[in-house]
């Protein structure tokens, strides 16, 4: 403004760097910048550049493509390169048909209004919601457990991308109603934690396939949409004890809190229009449910919310599309990757994975029959590699409906193989400091994948109930063996085996298993902790408070005043540093105690 052109910076040699440069540098802003800075270099970064094939007709003439704005490309690193370098994951896409068109009707722009009307019908949206609820655990791998920070969580979470604010509102209403109905019909049903967020955007998708940016200013929304958003935020406040609303500041804080809870897996599903589909990263997010038209930039950006690397359980991003986006996906991958990108960016067909799985299982059964010892380190390494490959393939195959009933290995056989696998894992960890070659140099243990198919305490208690029912019938011996196999095959239950055996031996035929288990665990936990207190001379009240906090928070606190209050007064000075040694001993005992009772009550 004014005489700002006289500022020294305009005459100096400067370098201007623009991120996401496909968005902001095709209009008056770019013209003003290049006019003001006469001696400059411009650098632009984008994962989805604008080429002649996907350029629009709006904006400043001569500024329709990224090359026109920034000059010749200096370097290219595509999604294909990122997947090959294992910086991101590939995608698996399901196309779910939810609307049938009469013969002879072509779904083109001429029928767009009728098509959108049909796509918003209550019947169709209810079908989509029921599909998501029925397949949610499978797609987000809710049977798979892994560690997220200091907590152990199950599975991943998801986003539902809708075509409009009206669609988002209808979907939120249906999720609420249908889940209430499911709770009435099934007392054990646990509803998904669902949130919704949208704001004003002038267009759903811009000409070049860009997703229009939504603003935090809710004043532009119509009264009905704002009122609905307010009611949805009230639901969120009730769920999490927050106090957000649709006023400008609090709505932005609602957005930030929602993003945080999505990253921490506190939310199961968030319904959006455009928000979160570009620039938002959450490693716990693995599934995008799509009920909107996407293409080019917007399609790649939206899909990429799901493919951030987290752990060995998350091996791909899940896309479940309720629109026919197959051609749009192929075109976008060809544009921003290359014409052969689909072979790398998308998962292979089910048959390819299943054929590999069959081969690995055949090798396992032939080379390592159950009941025969695996002798020698070379054979042990081969077994670990083979079962590891099977676990990785099962991790992918479980997302395919066709895999159910075609697992080849029975549940019992898989548990027995897992038990051998865990025995070897324990042996090699124990011998890690020995002079023999460490197996970890060339073999990776897939412990996270073992954990995702492991049994839990509820399953064991179910077997215990069956054991009591069959006591004396001749079937109880087999059930007792099944309990032992289940515990031996579980990384988290192995160190609890003695407890479980003592519990089973203590039961009478007419015992109430669940109640007896809770009383048994509480008594044994108190006895074992009291034993540590006596052995180490600890402050009893402080110790019980410390362990209660550990089980509540999901982690042991190794620093701070809480652990200091537990330990009896000792000198912190002197060469021996008695205090540090005592603290280390106590923490090691607390750690074993914590792992022994974690998840049992």
pLDDT at res. 241:
94
Q: Is 187 buried (19+), middle (13-18) or exposed (0-12) by CB count in 10 A? A: exposed
pLDDT of 362 above 50:
yes
Shortest CA distance to 276 belongs to which of 178, 174, 168?
168
Residue ranges per structural domain of the chain:
4-70, 86-100+110-347, 351-453, 513-597
CATH number for the domain formed by residue range(s) 351-453:
1.20.58.2040
Query: Domain 86-100+110-347 maps to which CATH number in 1.20.1290.10, 3.40.50.300, 3.10.310.10, 3.30.479.30?
Result: 3.40.50.300
pLDDT at res. 279:
77
Non-local (6+) Cβ contacts of 255 within 8 A are 197, 216, 275
Average pLDDT over residues 229-236: 95
Place of tokens 């996407």: 294
Work out the angle between the directed axes of helices 411-430 and 476-488 (0-180°, nearest 10): 40
Parallel, antiparallel or unpaired: strands 285-291 and 145-148? unpaired
pLDDT at res. 368:
92
Give the C-alpha separation, 254 to 251, whole Å. Answer: 5
Average pLDDT over residues 271-299: 89
pLDDT of 263 above 80:
yes
Beta-bridge partners for 227: none
Shortest CA distance to 93 belongs to which of 291, 318, 314, 306?
318
pLDDT at res. 203:
46
- pLDDT tens across 580-599, in order? 888 888 888 988 888 888 77
The top-scoring range by mean pLDDT among 206-215, 515-524, 533-542 is 533-542
65 — pLDDT class (breaks 50, 70, 90): confident
- Asked, colleague to colleague, whether 86-100+110-347 and 351-453 share their fold, the answer is no
pLDDT of 204 above 70:
no
pLDDT at res. 217:
73
pLDDT at res. 111:
40
pLDDT of 452 above 60:
no
Q: How far is CA 100 from CA 87, 161, 322, in A?
A: 39, 21, 12
8 Å CB contact between 333 and 342: yes
- pLDDT tens across 99-144, in order? 654 444 444 443 444 566 778 889 999 999 999 999 998 899 887 7
Question: Among 10-24, 104-118, 285-299, 443-457, where is mean pLDDT lowest?
Answer: 104-118
82 — pLDDT class (breaks 50, 70, 90): confident
């Amino acid at each position: 403004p004014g005489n700002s052109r006289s500022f020294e910076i305009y005459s100096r040699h400067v370098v201007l760097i623009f991120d996401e440069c496909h968005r902001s540098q095709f209009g008056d802003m770019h013209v003003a910048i290049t006019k003001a800075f006469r001696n400059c270099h411009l650098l632009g970064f984008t994962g989805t550049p604008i080429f002649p094939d996907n350029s629009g007709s709006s904006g400043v003439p001569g500024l329709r493509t990224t090359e026109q704005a920034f000059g010749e490309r200096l370097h290219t690193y595509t999604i294909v390169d990122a997947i090959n370098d294992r910086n991101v994951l590939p995608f698996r896409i399901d196309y779910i048909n939810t609307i049938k068109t009469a013969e002879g009707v072509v779904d083109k722009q001429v029928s767009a209004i009728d098509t959108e009307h049909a796509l918003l019908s209550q019947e169709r949206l209810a079908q989509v919601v029921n599909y998501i609820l029925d397949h949610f655990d499978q797609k987000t791998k809710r049977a798979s457990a892994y560690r997220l920070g200091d907590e152990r969580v199950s599975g991943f979470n998801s986003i539902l991308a809708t075509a409009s604010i009206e669609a988002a509102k209808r979907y939120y209403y249906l999720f609420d109603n249908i889940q209430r109905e499911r709770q009435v019909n099934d007392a054990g049903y646990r509803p998904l934690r669902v949130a919704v967020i949208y704001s004003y955007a002038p267009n759903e998708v811009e000409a070049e396939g860009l997703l229009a940016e939504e603003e935090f200013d809710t004043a532009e929304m119509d009264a009905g949409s704002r009122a609905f958003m307010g009611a949805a935020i009230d639901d969120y406040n009730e769920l999490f004890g927050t106090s957000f609303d649709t006023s400008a500041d609090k709505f932005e804080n609602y957005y930030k809190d929602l993003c945080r809870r999505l990253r921490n897996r506190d939310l199961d599903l968030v319904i959006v229009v455009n928000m979160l589909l570009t620039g938002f990263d959450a490693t716990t997010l693995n599934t995008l449910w799509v009920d909107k038209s996407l293409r080019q930039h917007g399609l790649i950006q939206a899909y990429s919310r799901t493919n951030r690397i987290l752990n060995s359980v998350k091996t791909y991003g899940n896309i479940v599309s309720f629109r026919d986006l197959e051609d749009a996906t192929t075109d976008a991958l060809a544009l921003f990757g290359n014409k052969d990108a689909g072979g790398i960016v998308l998962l292979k067909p089910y048959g390819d994975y299943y054929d590999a799985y069959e081969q690995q299982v055949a090798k396992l059964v032939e080379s390592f029959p159950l009941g025969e010892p695996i002798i020698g380190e070379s054979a042990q390494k081969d077994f670990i590699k083979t079962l590891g490959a099977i676990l990785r393939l099962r991790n992918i195959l479980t997302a395919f409906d066709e895999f159910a009933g075609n697992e080849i290995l029975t549940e019992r056989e898989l548990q027995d193989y897992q038990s051998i696998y865990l025995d070897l894992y324990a042996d090699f960890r124990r011998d890690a400091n020995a002079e023999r070659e460490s197996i970890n140099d060339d073999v990776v243990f897939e412990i996270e994948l073992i954990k995702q198919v492991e049994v839990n305490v509820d399953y064991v208690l179910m077997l215990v109930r069956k054991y009591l029912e069959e006591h004396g019938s001749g079937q109880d011996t087999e059930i007792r063996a099944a309990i032992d196999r289940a515990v031996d095959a579980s990384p988290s239950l192995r160190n609890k085996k003695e407890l479980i055996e003592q519990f089973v031996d203590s039961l009478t035929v007419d015992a109430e298993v669940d109640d007896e288990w809770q009383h048994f665990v509480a008594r044994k936990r108190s006895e074992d902790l009291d034993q540590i207190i006596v052995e180490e001379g600890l402050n009893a009240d402080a110790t019980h408070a410390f362990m209660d906090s550990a089980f509540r928070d999901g982690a042991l606190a190794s620093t701070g005043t809480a652990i200091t209050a537990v330990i009896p007064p000792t000198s912190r000075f002197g060469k021996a540093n008695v205090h540090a040694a005592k603290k280390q001993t106590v923490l090691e005992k607390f750690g074993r105690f914590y792992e022994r009772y974690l998840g049992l009550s």
